Structure 1
Amino acid sequence: MNGMKRILSVVAILMLAASLLPVKGQAGLRGAYDPITIGDPLIKAKFSPSLRGGNTRGAGSASSAKLENWIAFVAGSQVFGFESTGEIWAQVNIDQAFVRGFAPVPLEVDPTAAVSYIDPAWSKDGKWLAYVQTDNFVSSASIYVQQFAIGGNPLAGGEHGDKLGSPILIANGAGGKHHRHPAWNANHTQIAYDSDQFGSSIDLWTVNVNLDETAHTGSVDELSRTRHQIGLEGDPGILNGKAEFKPAYSPDGTKIAFVTNRFGAFQIVILNPTSSGLGETTVLPETNPAPITHDNPSWSSDGQSLYYDAPSNEDAANPQDIWKLDLPTGQKCGISVDLAGDTDPDVSQYINPTREGILFNYFMFISQASGFGVQVWRGEWVQNCIPPLPMSVVVSPSSMSVGDTVGQFFPGYISADMSFPPATIAAGYVCRAANQPNASGLPEPTKEGVRVRRSIVPSPTMVGGLTKSTRESGDCTDMDMLALTGLAHMPCFDADPNVDAVNNDFGNIGDYKCVINSDGLNHHLIANFNKRTIANRLIGLGLVDRVVALPVHAYSNRVGRQFLGFGYIRINTKSRGGAGSIVAMEQNFPNPFNPVTKFSFAINKPGNASVRVFNTRGELVRTIVNQWFPQGQHEVSWDGKTASGGRAPSGIYFIKTDSNGGTDMIKAVMAK
């Protein structure tokens, strides 16, 4: 019975947490990025997201983004042993959809896992789904089109919409042919795809289709089926020896972007197609593209930009990021969540504005961000690609001295008092946690607030460091809770969690408070940061005995508009009497831990450093490292083992770092 009560309590907490998230019609649980499919029963990885047009919500304004209500994606089969079999599912296009109560909807699923469905692609009007049907051995691959009822708004109780009529065969893979990656033109009269119809060469093809949404039928104009020569009809060796695949129509239907290895590494090329496939021209969207893989092109709704995935910083050793390339200027920008690998963008056909009128498209993509596995996310380019708006920052204290007591280095916190100058306020933003108007009921001007959180894409940050976690006790109403929740009193996070206590939901928000000004504009947000963490980073950079500018970043709630300010602080070392090195350790994480924990130390001068673990009796348990290190910050881990290789018992341990006469120590707890 107690177990059931605990489960019900957890469910209640999840429901409350969902109710405290931004209003469902507003994008941006984490500013620019939203995880869509996390937590659902489809435990396998997701791939190939496709936005379904036609069925939308929102007005397309800064307060009410216009979004497709549904997305399709591929998930691995839930049948044990057949995980490589593809299934096509639909999910509501909202952050943490399953947590909010929306279960994924099966679109093309074989319960026996004998048939695999992949490469979903919605027509722009959202009435027709093109997809590829194959088997577990991929012995052949055929393209089909299925009509679906347009359905309703799921946020108002509407459903996805059922199948109408039977599947329409577009490209028959019988005989071992493989037709893949269908793409629609704007008025759903033509489908482009890639195929090995002519043997080992993968080529671009198009075919005209005639679809009758009233009769739920369709046909293919076989006379229109065209193999595109991409201007190489005079050089069949290159045409037949290289691959052209993953087509994507420009919004006006006059161009097709595709991927090819014609130039070595896979690159994106833009084709000006002809109906016969002859006399065609191509152009590289970049004059001198980096020799790395560029993949999965998708057009912006105005046809002026291409989105694709390529390695971060254009370094082949890095994981993939989403990139946005401006075609008229050649300027490009990398868009990343947390460097975990982001791929396969599908750009929305709808335009939305920021508060100051910057126009952008949302896009769906696949990411491994934040350890959720391979999931579908929603993002946009504003946070990464637009210079930040100015923010005023006052840091307290403005100076600190290196402590003389081992293990007590820089106890306490640094406070950053953030506010917005008139230009940022005029752009449409306020320096508080809640958007305006809000649940407080005050007659405030419409503005977008500042996201406050400590995970995935944290905000605010100081020198990249997170804010302190929510204070352990007391009243957290000054964290703008009246405006966020409508509650005039809100207890803080409980350090000794009780699943029946709703205040446990605020464990990762961060320790901050909002100072609300009566004019509704000039608000302040005061955030607290761990002194040890900040000092560790500055000492690692050698920034001691001088005034240092601490960069403080934050971003807005809905579109992730970035804000940047600088607070100034001085770290004094005179109290050390001129000792050789300054050593600063950062608290281990997790703590308590079992069996592995990580921590970092910083030294302001290069030299030998030893990291040792002691028990409460002062006995050496293990020397973790004893070697030369350069100046900087260094991460170390302890696997909970003793010097002899045995498992250390649970209890309190002290981890001490010494280097060139400097020393520091932290306390770590190994749990049972």
Structure 2
Amino acid sequence: MNGMKKLLGVIGILALAAALLPAQGYADVRGPFARVTNGNNLSTGNEQPALRHIDADGIMSTITDGNKLIELWLTFSSRSPAQGFEGTRSIFMILNFDSSLPNFQQSAMAKMLDDPANHTSYFDPNWSSDGRFLAYTQTDANGGNQAIYVQEFKVNDGNDFDYGAGNGAETKIGSPILVTTAGQPRHPHWSPSGYTLAFDSNVAGSYDVYTTDVDVVAGTATTPVRRTFNEVKAETDPTWAPNGHEIAYSTNQFGPRTIQIIDIALAPSDPGYNRLAERNFASISHNNPSYSADGSDLFYDAPAAEDPVSPTNVWKINLATQGKCEIQVDNRADSDPDVSNVLNHTSVADGFVPYSYFMFVTQATGAGVNIWRGNPLNSCLLPLAMGVALVPPVIDINDQTTETFQTVLNYPPETRAAGYVCRFSNTGGDGMRMRNTGFVSPTLMGTIVPPDDPGGVPGTPNYPDGGSPFSYCIQSNTHTAPDSLRITCIWPFRDVADRIVALGLTGDIVPIKVNAYSNRVGRKFQGFGYLRLTNSASPAPVAMLGNSPNPFNPITKIKFAVRKPGNYALRLYNVQGALIRTVASRHFDVGTQEVTWDGRTNTGGMAASGVYYAKMSGVSKTDGSDAIKLVLNK
């Protein structure tokens, strides 16, 4: 069944996807993020993601981002579009592919549990570790007769659309197993080490976490065992750790919901039985915990920036170090993470860092309530270095002829050594993503995007093919050596000038941050260029750009920009105004210039530690002057 047909099914789709993304391969179009479902802006949206775990033979698996293994199938619930039955849900299954790739969603999606008459509702899907058994909650249309069931499904890499009715991965095997009806049970979650379910129920008067063993052969379940014991607070949303004996859950024991962990290998009276996932938690609501594949991290949703009035984002905390990070897509709410049980790694050159993909619910990009796939690399790893040069480095705000300026981007040796190349394609490594919607790259000062213009010639070496919108970003095509690769982008000057003026930084040397990310895994790059915005009726012919290093001992390089060619002198003064050294006095051409001070005075001795001023001035008094402060620190 899964031989030749498999080649014609999923692999054929992957080949088509790769064909439509030249030089990219099958990679998430938004780098670290991919929209998997196509929902809408109504209440029917797609929610409650649950990855169908990979079977023992690896049939239900696929590859993304070049060579990363992930689950082939995603299940989720969606509300009925029928008027009067909006509270009724169905469970669907869809291929775990980026929906921005070939539009095969309809052929790749199937109904798993659905009542066409809308009399029965199915939700809270969760798969056993072998991908065979789906646990879910079932109610009638009015929310009554609530129960948890288990249904076996056929293991396959395609659905009935591919293999014919009764042969697809949505095909039921046998009858559903009733697990429990007691206490409005919800949120079933399979243990990774066998057919044991955790769930929450209020059978004891308040919601607590319970476990039960399911005999999938006999079609029975054992009497549930209570695992949490707070009589007046709620413990809900249990999720098993990969070790098979710890369960994380959300509770309102301390007011706003926090995440706690129990170890059922210990007696409830043991001091180590129950502990906080985050020992020093913020007073905000933490919900929907889900473990990373290796159990070291816990994903959950909480308000952005831990501000209780902000929309939620997905967060990740390392349970051992308590280090955490916020995973950001845009300013819309992201919630309900479901983490893959497959552990992937960055390249060996990039540190072989372990990470897990995860699914989450979001309204990102305003495309409706959808389920996206993400990875934490872009948000949770320190960005790799990127060189940024601004051209020109000095602009006068009154110069009405200046509408744009350039950034020249390149990668230093350490970024290239990590396996990344400063080009649009992935030739020789993971290239730089060019995208102006969804999850933009590159960006200037956080939000400014290069102009979107349809110019350029598609198919030429410097044109950003594969869906890139930036004809105003071009890559060098005269040099091929890795250390000479460049991407040059043109930016709207007025947007940047308005920000600098609003911040009161006119006349200062302002660091301009540029962010970008890689094509395949969305690895973040960051660099700073420097811009000086002047404000004069007649722009000064010379402007100081700073020195590096500063403080220094004893050598520093002093940079300045010449707007008008001529004779200029660079002199150094101490805080009393005494001349210490004339570093240069000669003709300079237009452009960025650099001279070096070796720390010596005009008499040849070494200057003392302290503050000095470097002043650049023209020969004529009308030429103007400019100065910066230097610190010699021996």
Please indicate, yes or no, whether the TM-score normalized by the shorter chain is above 0.5.
yes
* Counterpart among 408, 414, 420 of residue 405 in structure 2: 414
Local SS of the residue matching 1:241: coil
Q: Which runs of 5+ in 1 are unaligned?
A: 1-14, 233-238, 437-444, 486-504, 579-672
The correspondence for 2:154, drawn from 146, 149, 154, is 149
**How far is the alpha carbon of 1:144 from its aligned partner?**
0.5
Matched position secondary structure for 1:95: coil
Change (3 A) 1:300 1:540: same
Quote the offset at 1:537 in angstroms. Answer: 1.5
Report deviation, 1:576.
Answer: 7.8
Distance 2:406 2:304 in 1: 33
Q: CA deviation at 1:571?
A: 1.1
Range with bigger deviation, 185-194 or 94-103 = 94-103
**Cα distance, 1:316 vs. partner?**
0.4
Specify the alignment match of 2:581 in structure 1: none
Could you tell me how far apart the structure 1 residues matched to 2:50 and 2:527 are? 38
- The question of whether the paired residues in 2 share the 8 Å contact of 1:69 and 1:153 is answered with no
Give the share of equivalent positions with the same residue, in percent.
Answer: 35
| Residues 465 and 529, structure 1, Cα contact 8 Å, conserved in 2 | no
What is the alpha-carbon distance in structure 2 between the residues aligned to residue 345 and residue 171 of structure 1? 25
User: Matched residues in 2 for 1:89 and 1:23: separation?
Assistant: 33
**Take 2:75 and 2:42, find their aligned partners in 1: how far apart are those partners?**
13
Deviation, structure 1 residue 43: 7.8
Question: Residue 583 of structure 2 corresponds to which residue in structure 1?
Answer: none
Q: Which amino acid aligns with 2:398?
A: G
Secondary structure of the corresponding residue to residue 565 of structure 1: strand
5 Å-filtered alignment, 1:285-324, equals 285-324=277-316
User: Shift of residue 79 of structure 1?
Assistant: 1.6
Give the partner amino acid of 1:30.
R
Pair 1:172 & 2:178 matched: no
Residue 625 of structure 1: aligned partner: none
* Structure 2 counterpart of 1:50, one-letter code: A
What does residue 82 of structure 2 align with? 79
Distance in 2, matches of 1:475 and 1:101, equals 29
Instruction: Assess if the C-alpha contact under 8 Å between 2:289 and 2:337 holds in 1.
Output: yes
Distance in 2 of aligned mates of 1:258 and 1:321: 18
**Aligned equivalent of 1:49:** 49
Contact 2:453 2:470 (8 Å CA) reproduced: no
**Matched residue type, 2:259:** I
CA contact (8 A) 2:245 2:265 kept: no
Q: 1:258 aligns with which of 249, 255, 265?
A: 249
Deviation of the 1:87 alpha carbon: 1.0
| Number of residue equivalences | 510
The CA deviation string for residues 449-488 of structure 1, in whole angstroms up to 9 with x for no partner, is 0111111211111112433334343424456558x56xxx
Check 1:303–1:455 CA distance in 2 against 1; reply closer, same or farther (3 A cut).
Answer: same
Report the 3-state secondary structure (helix = DSSP H, G, I; strand = E; otherwise coil) of the residue aligned with 1:450.
coil
Given that residues 334 and 384 in structure 1 are in contact (C-alpha distance below 8 angstroms), is that contact kept between their aligned partners in structure 2?
Answer: yes
Distance 1:549 1:29, change over 3 A: same
Query: TM-score, normalising length from structure 1?
Result: 0.71
Alpha-carbon RMSD across the aligned residues, in angstroms, is 2.8
Q: 1:24 to 1:363 in 2, by over 3 A?
A: farther
Q: 2: CA distance between counterparts of 1:93 and 1:396?
A: 43
Task: Read off the aligned partner of 2:537 and give its amino acid letter.
Answer: S
Please give the residue correspondences for 1:108-147 in structure 2 after superposition, counting only pairs within 5 Å.
108-147=113-152
1:186 aligns with 2:188: no
Cα distance in 1 between the residues matched to 2:500 and 2:401 = 12
**Among residues 381, 390, 399, which one is paired with 1:386 in the alignment?**
381
Q: CA deviation at 1:92?
A: 1.0
Match of 1:431 among 407, 410, 422: 422
Q: Give yes or no for the alignment of 1:554 onto 2:516.
A: yes
SS of alignment partner, residue 305 of structure 2: helix
1:463-522 C-alpha deviation (Å, 9 max, x unpaired): 12433334343424456558x56xxxxxxxxxxxxxxxxxxx66x445211114333564
Residue 403 (structure 1) shift: 2.7
Tell me whether 1:336 sits opposite 2:343 in the alignment: no
Q: 1:469 aligns with which of 451, 455, 461?
A: 451
Q: Distance in 1 between matches of 2:41 and 2:130?
A: 29
The 3 A distance-change label for structure 1 pair 566 and 274 is closer
Q: Distance in 2 between matches of 1:108 and 1:211?
A: 19
Structure 2 residue 520 is matched with structure 1 residue 514: no
CA distance, structure 1, for counterparts of residue 486 and residue 104 of structure 2: 35
CA 1:22–1:251: 2 relative to 1, 3 Å: farther
Three-state SS of the structure 1 residue aligned to 2:152 is strand
| In 1, Cα distance between equivalents of 2:284 and 2:78 | 28
> Are the structure 2 counterparts of residues 480 and 251 from structure 1 closer, same or farther at C-alpha, using a change threshold of 3 Å?
farther
**Counterpart residue identity of residue 249, structure 1:** W
**1:250–1:465: structure 2 CA closer, same or farther, 3 Å change rule?**
closer
Distance between the aligned counterparts of 1:23 and 1:318, measured in 2? Answer: 39
By how many angstroms is 1:160 displaced?
3.2
Q: Which has the larger radius of gyration?
A: 2
Q: Is the 8 A contact 1:453 1:510 kept in 2?
A: no
Change (3 A) 1:576 1:41: closer
- Unaligned runs of 5+ residues in structure 2 are 1-14, 541-634
* Residue 394 of structure 1, CA deviation: 1.4
